[in-house]
């Protein structure tokens, strides 16, 4: 049985008060491409409902539904009649998941790639040479020093598996 955690609910509300405007109409889930692909297995309305109820164990420990499946396409945010900032709320939930190590390996790999190369998906040497031959502009990367500072603040490196 799920336990209501008022402290967690208040934390989400403090982070984003728009949570309280949700009247559970399901417009977000109806327009969500991931909900469509997973045949309702992923369901943003349900995530918002669990956040309103303060069901931290379901959202963070069990990840039911799994917040990492959101592609951040913002369709739900555009469609929501109550202007609930769903993706912002999802960010807080994902941060909570991250803090207890409940984070998919692929996200850790992408973070590691940004930390090392300034991009999430580094280009191969062959691609870079071909781009140069085609006269395409050089690829801009994020300033690694600044990325490092941000990731240190989030203690990201503690989650990188030791090789």
- Site of interaction with ligand SF4 (CB under 6 A): 22-28, 32-34, 44-45, 48, 70-76, 80, 82, 84, 86-87
Peptide bond into 65 cis (omega under 30): yes
Kindly state the smallest distance separating residue 67's Cβ from ligand SF4, in Å. Answer: 9
**Residue (37 or 144) nearer to ligand SF4, CB:** 37
SS3 content of the chain, % helix, strand, coil (to 5): 60, 0, 40
Task: For residue 83, give every residue at least 6 positions away whose Cβ sits within 8 Å of its Cβ, in sequence order, or none.
Answer: 18, 21
Kindly state the smallest distance separating residue 3's Cβ from ligand SF4, in Å. Answer: 23
Closest by CA to 87, choosing from 69, 60, 108, is 69
Query: If you compute the radius of gyration of the chain from its CA atoms, what whole number of angstroms results?
Result: 19
**Residue (22 or 147) nearer to ligand SF4, CB:** 22
**Residue (70 or 97) nearer to ligand SF4, CB:** 70
Kindly state the smallest distance separating residue 12's Cβ from ligand SF4, in Å. Answer: 13
Kindly state the smallest distance separating residue 26's Cβ from ligand SF4, in Å. Answer: 5
Residue 143: phi and psi, rounded to 5, are -65, 110
**Residue (29 or 56) nearer to ligand SF4, CB:** 29
């Amino acid at each position: 049985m799920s336990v209501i955690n008022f402290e967690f609910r208040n934390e989400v509300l403090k982070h984003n008060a728009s949570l309280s405007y949700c009247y559970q109409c399901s417009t977000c889930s109806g327009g969500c491409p991931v909900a469509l692909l997973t045949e309702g297995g992923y369901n943003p309305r349900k995530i918002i409902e669990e956040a309103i109820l303060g069901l931290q164990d379901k959202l963070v420990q069990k990840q039911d539904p799994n917040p990492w499946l959101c592609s951040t396409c913002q369709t739900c945010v555009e469609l929501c009649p109550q202007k609930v900032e769903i993706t912002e709320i999802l960010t807080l939930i994902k941060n909570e998941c991250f803090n207890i190590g409940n984070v998919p390996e692929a996200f850790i790999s992408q973070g590691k790639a940004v930390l090392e190369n300034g991009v999430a998906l580094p280009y191969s040497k062959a691609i870079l040479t071909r781009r140069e031959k085609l006269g395409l502009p050089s690829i801009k990367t994020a300033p690694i020093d600044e990325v490092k500072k941000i990731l240190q603040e989030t203690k990201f490196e503690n989650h990188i598996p030791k090789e």
